[in-house]
């Protein structure tokens, strides 16, 4: 399964969990796999080969640099008020329902936090 196929499988499962999201669109120079704009959640599927997963990715000296780059990108998004969810391609392949369920729970939690914050003001 390719990272793209895993992404599609995740989106289908998220839909079943009631998570409504926008098709991929740019968030500050970055193209997430899906975006729940109403609560600023950006999800990214990390391809095992592309993002050098520790189990299936290539063993390269450049891996720590790549991971640092990805973490820096996430930090920038978080600073801008986004919740960033990263998920490995193999998590989706192995347990698609669990992968989608984890994200659905994060989206629900962020929504609840936003609603609670709104009530306070
Ligand atoms: Zn992997």
The Å distance, Cα 13 to ligand 1 centre, comes to 19
| pTM beyond cutoff 0.95 | no
Could you tell me the CATH number of the domain that includes residue 13? 3.40.960.10
**Mean pLDDT for the stretch of residues 53-80:** 95
| d(CA 28, ligand 1 centre) in Å | 27
Residue 11 domain boundaries:
3-120
Query: If we measure between CA atoms, which residue out of 1, 30, 17, 11 comes closest to residue 89?
Result: 1
**Residue 121 CA, ligand 1 centroid: distance in Å:** 43
Distances (CA, A) of 114 to 40, 89, 106: 10, 29, 12
At 16-34, the pLDDT tens digits run 999 998 877 788 778 888 8
Distance 111 CA to ligand 1 centre (A): 30
Phi, psi of 81 (to 5 degrees): 95, 10
92: pLDDT strictly greater than 90: yes
If one counts the domains in the chain, the total is 1
The whole-number pLDDT of residue 41 equals 94
Q: Which of 2-16, 17-31, 32-46, 72-86 has the lowest mean pLDDT?
A: 17-31
Looking at residue 31, what is its pLDDT? 84
Helices (H) and strands (E) in the chain, counts: 4, 3
**Ligand 1 center–CA 115 separation, angstroms:** 35
């Amino acid at each position: 399964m390719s990272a793209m196929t895993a992404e599609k499988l995740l989106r289908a499962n998220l839909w079943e969990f009631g998570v409504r999201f926008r098709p991929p669109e740019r968030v500050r120079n970055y193209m997430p796999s899906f975006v729940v704009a109403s609560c600023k959640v950006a999800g990214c599927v990390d391809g095992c080969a592309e993002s050098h997963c520790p189990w299936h990715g290539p063993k390269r000296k450049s891996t720590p640099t790549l991971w640092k780059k990805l973490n820096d990108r996430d930090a920038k998004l978080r600073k801008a008020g986004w919740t960033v969810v990263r998920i490995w391609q193999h998590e989706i392949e192995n347990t698609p329902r669990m992968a989608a369920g984890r994200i659905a729970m994060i989206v629900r939690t962020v929504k609840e936090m936003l609603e609670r914050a709104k009530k306070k003001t």
